Amino acid sequence: MKRRRLLLGIAVLVLLGGAAGLVYRMAGSGRDGSGVRKGGDGKSAEPGADRSPGGEEKRKEPPDSAEAGGRNPVAGESQGSRQEGAGAPEPKLGDGATSPDDGERKARRLHEQKEGPADARGEPAEPEDSSRALGSISGTVRGAEGKPVAGARVEASAGKARRQHGTVSGSDGEFTFDGLSEGLYLLSAEKDGTEGTAGPVPATGDETTHVTIFLGSDASIAGQILDESTHEGVAGISINFRDAVRQVSSVAYSDTDGRFRTSVLAPAVYAAWVERHPEYYTERSSHMNVAVAAGEHKDGLVLTVRKGVTLRGNVQTVGGDPVPDATVLLDDLLSGIGGEKGQTVSDTAGRFVFSGQNPSGRFVARAVHPDHGYGQSEPLLARAGGEQPEMVVRLMAGASIRGRLVTDDGAGVAGLDVWLGLAETRGRVPGTRKVSGPDGRFTMSHVAPGMYRFEVITAQNEEGWTDLLSREFTVIEGDEPEEVVVSVGPGPYGFVEGRVTSPEGDPLPLVEVLAWSRDPRVGGAQNSTDADGRYRIDGLGPARTVAVEARGFRLGRFRKELLDVPVSSSGVDFVLGRMASLSGRVVDAETREGLTSFHVSGPIVDMDIESPDGSFTIAQLQMDHGQFVFSAPGYKTATWDAGTIAEGAEIKDVLVEMHPGEWLEGTVTAADSGAPVAGARVKYLQSGQEVPAVDHPSTWTSADPFTDAQGRFYLPGNPPGQPNSFVVWHQDYVAAVVRDSLDRTFQIVLQK
């Protein structure tokens, strides 16, 4: 069965002609709230990720979020077209987005902590004067098994005077300290003689910092965040560590030397990744898995970040007047892991700022205003280390489109949320949410020319929603399209329900359950199991049968799928076993010494690993079989075949031998103009390997380089005298393939 991808994804939506890309990275998906920070959309490389029916990973967006990742403003609503109850949410700052005055405030404050600790367990700096902005710290107290602890005494202290604030954790283990002077705080918790600590943790005036305190923890993880160019420590970076088996996270914050330390539960394997930062481009920073034994204090982890660029611009009318309060989104057209990089609102002079962006990116700013329409800037190719040209967005009015929701017998369906989505990418357009009226009708204004479809939300819950899709329709500049009628079948109902358990019969909570249908009107549906392992998915509308999949990734469990399940079925049950793990060592084939830095990719795995002796652990293997590819600068790529991986298997002592190789280098140019092609992807091919589907996002990993602004690339290959093969691709050109070449330098010309 050809399966449809669910809408829950990060899409690279391009105004006036879009293109799409999905995130394909190894991630943990958690909702315990302990390892994320509020403000913007709070997303990071790993948390909050979902996986589509095909197994790829993608970002989950709430159905009423106008600033959801991968959705671009090609439409907005005029004040005269607002419907009662439609109420699109107010725009919020997204990742890397700032107002001109506030953009890098948080990072600057953390850099200005002159008396920061010598290490992450040292004395926190004295908080700033309380007359300045006040911050908040919140978090969760957890016990030895990761469960919340109620009634624990929690204290936050700072400075040499050890100024203290106290509170008690609630029934869910959560606590909050509000009104804190800006600075670094040590947190401690105690209940029934069992203690735990966390920090230093920053309190800043622009957002709430989240942290987890583990009672009775006897293990920790420590290391340093370095600027990859200067190799100096970077302050103000948050680092997440997530144990998917216990479903708990721990977060650490780098001090003025870039050092961090956090208490963790052990034994466990933690996925570690760097969060967003206003000044640094962390999207492709090092990610790793960290194995911690009981009682172990693991030190020496090194994660690198790259200095980002700051992009500035302004929003204008066609006549050149500034447009304040316009919603502005930034897209990186060269990104392989999701195009949208930030969202903000223009100030009173129409200005906007995006900081911490990809220094090799090619950007477009898109803006929408309810009175002035939509627009986009000319593409801008970033220049690392230099001042970037200003981006100018001019707004123009768009078309109005009308729609109506009806049942199979023609009756109007009232009270359902409707979004506008691009037909090619299936992504929603921010600012277009409407609620169908008493006769099922709705109107959307300022819609740009393009191909679209409506998305109707027939059911909502905390974990997702069910959506139905209209036929595709075209908006042509200057024309008013006819009313689009959307059938919801017999009505917006229909369900599947059941229970998910372990092989031992224990209920499994927080398992994601998804449903999708062959019926093109059914976009997809999602919910999660409750404490008793039960779930229910509503709103399946016109579908007669659905495929249902249970995904136990959050609990370290496999996924299973049932096909052709009749709609309105009960007893759709699943039994999920544990996922497997893989561990071993990567060594130089000649010296037998461990490699300290390498990359591994494979089934749902794409990660950089830093290791003092070449050892690695990959937890939560989710596929039944697959190959793992290891690469490192100066070495030939090595492949290890995992064969069939059984549920719960622990594959240990894998030895990966890396043979020294040489760098290949080249330049990519366009055949029609001779100009360098920036942002082309280059992938090394093993001997005899077929050329993969270059236009599919899962083909590319972070080990596959992009060409720079001069069209140059560098790629590890075989030693001199041995042949090399690789493929070069850019979305605007036909892919070029080099087979079994003995050359070391290349001039690649791409055809349209």
Taking only the tens place, the pLDDT of each residue in 642-676 is 777 777 788 889 999 998 877 888 999 999 999 99
* 569 & 718 share domain: no
Percent of the chain with pLDDT over 90: 20
Residue 593: domain span: 580-658
- For the chain, the domain total comes to 4
* 250 & 146 share domain: yes
741 contacts 724 by C-beta, under 8 angstroms: yes
Beta carbons within 8 Å of 547's beta carbon, 6+ residues apart: 1, 3, 53, 515, 516, 517, 561, 562, 563, 564, 565
More confident residue, 104 or 408: 408
More confident residue, 367 or 46: 367
Residue 424's pLDDT band (cuts 50, 70, 90): low
Residue 56's pLDDT band (cuts 50, 70, 90): very low
What the block records as the tokens of 664 is 């290949």
Identify which of 84-88, 267-271, 351-355, 363-367 has the greatest average pLDDT.
351-355
pLDDT for the residue 348: 95
- Tell me the C-alpha distance between 286 and 308, whole Å: 15
Q: Is residue 602 part of a domain?
A: yes
pLDDT for the residue 454: 92
Whether omega for the bond prior to residue 73 falls within 30 degrees of 0, making it cis, is no
* 547 & 678 share domain: no
* 564 & 595 share domain: no
Q: Alpha-carbon torsion 48, 52, 57, 59, what sign? A: negative
* 644 & 744 share domain: no
Q: Is residue 313 part of a domain?
A: no
Please state which of the ranges 218-222, 289-293, 466-470, 518-522 shows the lowest mean pLDDT: 289-293
Cα–chain center distance at 123: 34
* 129 & 271 share domain: yes
The per-residue pLDDT of the chain, averaged, comes to 75
Q: What is the mean pLDDT of residues 261-278?
A: 79
> For 504-621, where are the alpha helices, taking DSSP H only?
none
What the block records as the tokens of 371 is 């009175």
More confident residue, 289 or 705: 705
Instruction: Please check the confidence at residue 552 and state whether its pLDDT lies above 50.
Output: yes
More confident residue, 346 or 232: 346
Whether omega for the bond prior to residue 322 falls within 30 degrees of 0, making it cis, is no
Q: Is residue 746 part of a domain?
A: yes
Q: Is residue 84 part of a domain?
A: no
How far is residue 4 from each of residues 295, 399, 499, 704, measured CA to CA in Å?
Answer: 46, 30, 24, 27
* 565 & 585 share domain: no
- CATH number of the domain where residue 718 is located: 2.60.40.10
Instruction: Please check the confidence at residue 146 and state whether its pLDDT lies above 80.
Output: no
* 118 & 247 share domain: yes
* 239 & 291 share domain: yes
- Tell me the C-alpha distance between 540 and 523, whole Å: 9
- Tell me the C-alpha distance between 726 and 719, whole Å: 15
More confident residue, 440 or 382: 440
Instruction: Please check the confidence at residue 84 and state whether its pLDDT lies above 70.
Output: no
* 571 & 592 share domain: no
- CATH number of the domain where residue 625 is located: 2.60.40.1120
What length does the chain have?
752
More confident residue, 315 or 363: 315
* 179 & 302 share domain: yes
Instruction: Please check the confidence at residue 530 and state whether its pLDDT lies above 70.
Output: yes
Q: Is residue 13 part of a domain?
A: no
Q: What is the mean pLDDT of residues 384-408?
A: 86
In this structure, the number of other CB atoms found within 10 A of the CB of residue 179 comes to: 10
- Tell me the C-alpha distance between 614 and 121, whole Å: 28
Instruction: Please check the confidence at residue 31 and state whether its pLDDT lies above 50.
Output: no
Task: Single out the residue in 283, 307, 331 at which a domain terminates.
Answer: 307
Task: Single out the residue in 526, 551, 575 at which a domain terminates.
Answer: 575
Task: Single out the residue in 658, 688, 714 at which a domain terminates.
Answer: 658
What the block records as the tokens of 260 is 């961090």
Whether omega for the bond prior to residue 267 falls within 30 degrees of 0, making it cis, is yes
* 549 & 687 share domain: no
pLDDT digits (tens, 9 = 90+) for 180-212: 888 788 888 898 888 888 877 888 766 778 888
